[in-house]
Amino acid sequence: MRQAGIGTILDLVFNHTGESDLQGPTLSFRGLDDAVYARGQDGSLINDAGTGNTLDFGYAPVRQMTLVALRHFVTQAGVDGFRFDLAPIMGRSPGFDPRAAIFADIAADPVLADRVMIAEPWDIGPGGYQLGAFPATWLEWNDRFRDDVRRFWRGDGSAGALATRMAGSTDIFGPTVTRTVNFVAAHDGFTLADAVAYARRHNHANGEDNRDGHADEVSWSAGEEGQGRAEDVRALLATLFASRGTIMLAAGDEFGRTQGGNNNAYAQDNATSWLNWEARDRELEAFVAELAAWRRAHPAIGAPEVRHDLSWSDVRGDAMTPAAWDGADGFVMRVGDGAGVRVDRGRRCVEVLPPHQA
């Protein structure tokens, strides 16, 4: 992969062990050092991971274990970076602190300092949503990109919010460098194809009476549950590839994989969650390849630096004003390197004129 110019990002879960709560088995640190677990003032286990226990990164051996593991994967496996599950837990004491010791340790480590670090910037504990709060060298999953893009194409989101996300989410990450990891679907939740085919979850097979999984996904169907439009999938993908920052595409979404409306299929080790390579949509696959080639040809789109090279107009070439953004069904985004992107949810064919010069 490296010879082909493809790096490796390893997804790691350092926030808990598989020993659950006080009633769980002794499999890991419980049998070695019970102090690794975060506890409340009353001595009860803190459960910010939703698994029954949470590791305490204020305890030096937990940080040491983490650093040793990270160094191993870099030196022995050549890993280029890491994505951290429920990453706020790494900075809790018990509240989140972006200056927490583990972040400083990683930044100062000669093996790890130049690796890519990506945070899933939320956990289920108090104050657990920390999008935009991680160290300046870290990238962050941006769920507001996912939701604002989906809302726009569903028909109830604003063009202004979409433009903000496509421009790098400077309202979250600041005016100089964007640290956003843009995505429209991930391993949690609906697949991309299911997000435009199901307005609600269908998780009965999970054995929890359809109560598990997110109940408020931004999704829709084309009439009946399970019916989707190919153009909706393409619109979401094109928006992703035309947006500033790092982009992430969930495996299989490039060829239309479905989980039948199950948005919490982690426990389904069967055809529900497997990638069906034989049934892949080859036309969609080719479309995604074209999007990737277009993005590669316009590197300014993916640049992390927030450049003042974007201009916004309507299809007539008039600059977008605050009044024009209100209720707009689309816009034209132009990039300084010559790239142009027309966004229109009106499903109509229109002529796009060049921007008027002031």
Q: What angle do CA 299, 301, 305 make, to 5 degrees?
A: 90
User: How many Å apart are CA 156 and CA 55, to the nearest integer?
Assistant: 40
Measured CA distances, 266 to 14, 99, 273 (Å): 18, 33, 7
Buried b (16+ CB within 10 A) or exposed e, 292-322: eeebeebeebbbbebeeebebbbeeeeebee
Instruction: State the first-to-last Cα distance of the chain, in angstroms, to the nearest integer.
Output: 49
Q: Do 235 and 288 touch, CB atoms closer than 8 A?
A: no
Measured CA distances, 154 to 159, 291, 327 (Å): 12, 22, 14
Provide CB contacts within 8 A for 86, sequence distance 6+. Answer: 13, 15, 48, 49, 120, 122, 123, 124
Q: Just list the catalytic residues.
A: 85, 120
Q: Do 100 and 134 touch, CB atoms closer than 8 A?
A: no
Q: Is the dihedral of CA 300, 303, 307, 313 positive or negative?
A: positive
